[in-house]
Amino acid sequence: MITGEQQEKFKLIEGGNIGSAKGFKAGGLHCGIRKQKIDFGWFYSEVPAHAAGVYTTNAFQAAPLKVTQESIATEGKLQAVVVNSGIANACTGKQGLVDAYDMRKSFAEAVGVQEHLAAVASTGLIGELLPMDRIHKGISQINDTEHQGAEKFETAILTTDTHAKGIAIELEIDGESVVIGGAAKGSGMIHPNMATMLGFVTTDANIESSELSAALKSITNKSFNMITVDGDTSTNDMVLVLANGKAGNDKLSAKHEDWDKFYQGLKFVCEYLAKEIARDGEGASKLVEVTVDGSFSDESAAAIAKSIISSNLVKTAIHGADANWGRIITAIGYSGQSLDPDKVSIYLGDILVVENGVPHKFDEDEAKQYLLQDEVAIIAKLGDGNGKATAWGCDLSYEYVRINASYRT
């Protein structure tokens, strides 16, 4: 999972999670929004942490996003985050906003932080009000020892996900051990530019909010904004990063000699979480990675990669292990990007299927066996320039239809 080059910069922490960085704790419990599943989670720092966030591009931003953005805008810091699953508190009007503020205030009081240092997030059904009596019940139990643990938080934030998603890495900056950990949820309604997904990253690195925000925005465009499951962009979703400085390193900035090491570590954590979301797409059986190389620019390559990974016809072909490269060519062609069709070559893994815009003879059985694997790579080489980008998604299955045809029941 970590390449040789990455191993020189950081190492994976076995069993690492959002609570691995110094000064962070997390927990989760069942408050009764969902019938049986843990549905209420939180994490917090011992001290206020510099914070940064990115948010859904959907015009219908849910109430929790508005409250969280307001919290960060106050002084660029957060200390605690609370999340509920089951109900999104989206499209709920004035009452939804009142409830989100109430959730923030009560949570902040329970963990002993200033209200503007608390953030809230919700995920689940759109158009329903939060059951505030159950929310308050959950908040009242936050300090009980039985509900502590990052694995409980990872479970509490899930909706149709099939598994929890967490990671942590360790690196050395200024001779000090720095940890970056994270957790995420997401399975359906996933599309580039933030979708039905929540991502949370913690680090004990010493870094200002402005530098953290710039890094997060850049990295998001190469990770969370490069995944798709079904083409739908949701109302609720965001990625938050909190840095509490407990590692004791000199303040990080783009001028720091270890800046690239920190940036690559943060990128690795975000990319890992993004890929796990794509892998866990509703009804998915395969993780699909699309790499476009040789476009006129990185931005053009990214647009083409997204076009391929978003194509339902490509996704169904992958599900059926059908080496139908025509669907890939078509998705490249309608991406809206400039290219020379006579230079385009397509690979399924190591198998060349199109060379310079025309079919290349290949073994159909070999290609089918490759596409039956649970990880599939599509490589498009354009020959127009040096632009390169990678996107991630999944196949589109019968199970996806079943899940979403009965989502509310």
Active site residues: 196
Contact (Cβ atoms closer than 8 angstroms) between residue 29 and residue 139: no
Both tokens assigned to 103: 């959730």
Question: Is 366 known to sit in a ligand binding site?
Answer: no
Question: Is 409 known to sit in a ligand binding site?
Answer: yes
Question: Is 155 known to sit in a ligand binding site?
Answer: no
Give CA–CA dist 220/271, Å, rounded: 8
Radius of gyration of the chain (CA): 22
For the chain, percent helix, then strand, then coil, each to nearest 5?
A: 35, 30, 35
Question: Is 185 known to sit in a ligand binding site?
Answer: yes
Contact (Cβ atoms closer than 8 angstroms) between residue 376 and residue 322: no
Closest alpha carbon to 183 in 15, 18, 14, 16: 18
Closest alpha carbon to 397 in 343, 303, 304, 321: 321
Question: Scanning the structure block, which residue is given the tokens 């900056």?
Answer: 173
Question: Is 381 known to sit in a ligand binding site?
Answer: no
3-state SS class at 272:
helix
First to last CA, the chain: 38
Long-range contacts of 70-76 (CB under 8 A, 24+ apart): 70/116, 71/104, 71/116, 71/117, 71/118, 71/119, 72/119, 72/209, 74/116, 75/116, 76/50, 76/51, 76/208, 76/209, 76/210
* Half-sphere exposure of residue 405: CA atoms within 13 angstroms, side-chain side: 7
Question: Is 196 known to sit in a ligand binding site?
Answer: yes
Where is the binding site for substrate, in residues? Answer: 159, 185, 196, 282, 404, 409
Where is the binding site, in residues? Answer: 159, 185, 196, 282, 404, 409
